[in-house]
A and B are shown apart, each in its own frame.
Chain A
Amino acid sequence: MNGKEWSMPAEGALPEVHDQSMPAAEGLPEEVERFNIHYRIQHVLMLSSFLVLFFTGWALKFSEVETSKSWIQFWGGTKSAGLVHRTAGIVMLLDSIYHVCYLLYRFSKGKLRWDIIPVWKDVTDAYQNILYFLGLSKEKPQFRKFTYLQKFDYWAVFWGVFIIGSSGLALTFPTKAALIFPQWTTNWIWELVYIMHSDEALLAIIFILFWHFYNEHLRPDVFPMSWVWITGKLPVEELEEKHPLEFKRLFPEAAAQVEDGKKHEAES
C-alpha cells in the first residue's frame, strides 16, 4: 500500500493543510519502519491475550448478570473458562517479559532509544494540544517519535500488567502465594489482591475501549486503523504530519526544504 492512499481522508477534509505539508518527494523513502518484527509480535500477543482475558474475565466479574452464564457456557463452562483465562494471563506475562528482555538486549547492543520515556515536553505538548483543541492557539504541538497519547497508552500497559499480573498470579496459585504473604497481612491481603485484579482489569478494559480505540481506530484520520501494527511501516507523509520532529530527525534536509517552501508561500 502506498502512503498517498492513507492520507486520502485527510486530503479530502483538509486540502490546504495537506498541500502545505506535502514533503519534497525526492530522495525520501515511501515508508519508514516504526516497529520491527519483535515489537509487532509483542503487540499481537498482547492484544490477543488481552481480548481473551477480557472476554473470559468479564463474565466472572459480573456473574450476577443472567447472560454471563451463557457466555461462560460459550467458553466451555467455569472450569474451562478459568483455564483459558489463566493461560492467556501466562501468555501476557511471558509477552511482557519478552518485551523487557528485548529492550535490555537492545540496550546492551547500544541500539535502545529512549523515545518512549515521558519528558517535560509531553506536559507542554499536552497543554499546547488542549489550547489547540479549544481554539486558543492555531499551532498544533510538534510531536517527536511518540506523542504523549501514545506514551500514556504504553505506560498504562506497564502499570496494568504489574498490578493485574501480580494479583492474578496470587489468585492463580493461592497456596503458593500464601507462603510468600507475611502473617500480619492475612487479614486484608486476599481482599486487596482480589480488588486489585478485578477493579484494575475493569479500568484497563474501559481505558482500552475509550483511549486506544478512539485514538488508534475511530479517529477519522486513522479509521479503521493504521496498518503499522502489521507492516510496522508508516508512510513518510504520515510521519511528517504526525511526528514532525521525528521526521526532521530522520530527514533533516527534506524537512528544511519543506520549511523553506512554507516560508516562501507565506511571503508570497
Chain B
Amino acid sequence: MRPRTLVLPFVLLLFYVFIPLGDIYADNLSCLICHGELKGTYVTQQGVTTSLHVDGEKYTASVHGDLECTFCHLKYQDNPHTGTDGEVDESIAQIARGIGNKSPVDPIAQAACTQCHEEIYLEVRESVHGKNIFEKGETDGALCVDCHGSPHEIVAVSQAVGNGHGGEHGEGVGSAVAYDRIVHTCGKCHEKKSVSLKYGFSTKIIERYNESFHGKKYHLGGKNLPVCTTCHGAHDIRSDKDPAAMVYGENKITLCGQCHAGANTKFVAAITHKPLGKDNPIPFYAEKVLILLTFTVISGCALHILLDIFALIRTTVTTRRRVSSHER
C-alpha cells in the first residue's frame, strides 16, 4: 500500500513543477490543488467563519469556468498567498467598501462581478436590496451570490435541472434563480420571521404564495405562472412603497393585466400575501365557521351511520337467536 499513498503527492508535485504558470487553466489548477482539498471552515482576521473549499469540477462546469481565479480574487484581506496583492481598480474598491458589512470575507471578490456585469450592478444598487446594503450599511438584502449561489458554481438560468419546483422546497441542481427554484431561493430570507418583522412585511409571504392559486399550480408543475420575480422584479426589485415598483398602487393594474385582461383595482386587491388573521376578520372567522360546520355535519353523519350499523347488527343477532330457538 505504501507506493500508492505516495502517488498522489508525487503527481501533484509534477503538476506544480512542470505546468508553466501564466496559463489560465494551469493557474486555476494550482489554486485548486489546495482549495479543492481544503475542507472544513476557516476563521478570517475579521472573525468571520468561511469555507475555503472550491469544487474544481463544478467550477469548470460553471458559466465562469474559464476565468482565472485571480480574475475576481484581486486582492486578499489577510493574505497568506503571494502575487495577488496587486492594484485594485478604484470603482471596485469603492463597491467593496460599500458591501463591507454585508460580505466581510472577501468584499473585493464580491464586487468583482461588476467588471463584467456593470449594468446589472447598477440595477441592484438602486433596488430595495441594494439600497439597504449600500445606503444603510445593513447586512440584509441580496447581492449576487445570495441568489445565484456560490460564485464557483453558477450555471445558466436556462440550466434548471432541478427536480421541478424543487421537490422538497427547491433543493435541486441547476440555477437557483431558475423558474423551478426561484421561490425557494427568495424564501431563504423571506421565510425568516426576523427579516419580515424587521422590515414590516407579511411573515407568511412564501406560505401564502404557496396557498394561492398561482403557488399551488406552480408547485404542481405548471409553467408560465407568476413567481416572486415576475411581479416584484429581480435585480431591480423595489419596495411596494416605491412608486416605481410594479406592485405599487395602481401599477398593479398593468402588472396583473398582463395575464388577466380587464384587471381593475378591485381585482388586483386579491393578492396580498397577508396571513389570514384577526385583522381581516371576515375570511378568518368564515373559515372557522366552515370548519365547524364540516366537523358538525361529518360527526353527525358518522354517529348516525354507527347507530344504524349497531341496530342492523342487533337485529341480525336477535333474529338469528329467535330462528334458532324456533328450530329447537
Contacts and interface: CB of A to CB of B under 8 A. Distances in A.
A207 B298 contact: yes
B11 interface: no
Interface stretch (A89-97, A114-122, A179-187): A179-187
Interface in B197-228: 210, 213, 215-217, 219-222, 225
Nearest to A190: B270
A19 to B, nearest CB: 12
B260 interface: yes
B107 to A, nearest CB: 39
Interface stretch (B1-9, B242-250, B307-315): B307-315
A3 interface: no
A252 interface: no
Per DSSP, are chain B's interface residues mostly helix, strand or loop, or mixed?
helix
A210 to B, nearest CB: 5
B293 interface: yes
Interface stretch (A22-30, A41-49, A64-72, A259-267): A64-72
B298 A196 contact: no
Contacts of A194: 213
Contacts of B280: 187-188, 191
Interface of A is mostly: helix
B262 interface: yes
A206 interface: yes
B302 interface: yes
A149 B225 CA distance: 44
B59 to A, nearest CB: 33
A110 interface: no
Contact of A59 (B220, B225, B286): B220
A207 B283 CA distance: 23
Given A15-B319, A178-B266, A133 B307 contact: yes
Interface string B255-288: 0000011111111011000001000111100110
A78 B220 CA distance: 7
Interface string A192-205: 10111001101100
A68 B319 contact: no
Interface residues of B, number: 50
A174 B270 contact: yes
A175 B261 contact: yes
Interface in A49-83: 59-60, 63-64, 66, 68-69, 72-73, 77-79, 82
A63 B290 contact: no
A63 B287 contact: no
A14 B308 contact: no
Nearest to B256: A175
A179 B264 CA distance: 8
A181 to B, nearest CB: 6
B276 to A, nearest CB: 7
Contact of B290 (A66, A171, A203): A203
B263 A134 contact: no
A124 to B, nearest CB: 16
Given A60-B220, A210-B302, A195 B264 contact: no
A203 B287 CA distance: 12
Contacts of A135: 311, 314
Contacts of B167: 66
Contact of B316 (A13, A77, A171): A13
A130 interface: yes
Contact of A15 (B164, B262, B281, B323): B323
Given A190-B270, A203-B293, A68 B308 contact: no
Interface in A230-262: none
Contacts of B298: 203, 206-207, 210
Contacts of A77: 221-222
24 contacts: A13-B319, A14-B315, A16-B322, A59-B220, A60-B217, A60-B220, A69-B219, A72-B220, A72-B221, A77-B221, A78-B222, A82-B217, A135-B311, A135-B314, A174-B260, A179-B264, A187-B280, A191-B282, A195-B287, A200-B290, A203-B294, A203-B298, A207-B298, A207-B301
Given A68-B220, A186-B270, A187-B280, 18 more contacts: A16-B319, A63-B217, A64-B219, A72-B221, A78-B220, A135-B314, A174-B267, A175-B260, A175-B267, A188-B281, A188-B282, A191-B282, A191-B283, A192-B286, A195-B290, A199-B287, A207-B301, A219-B312
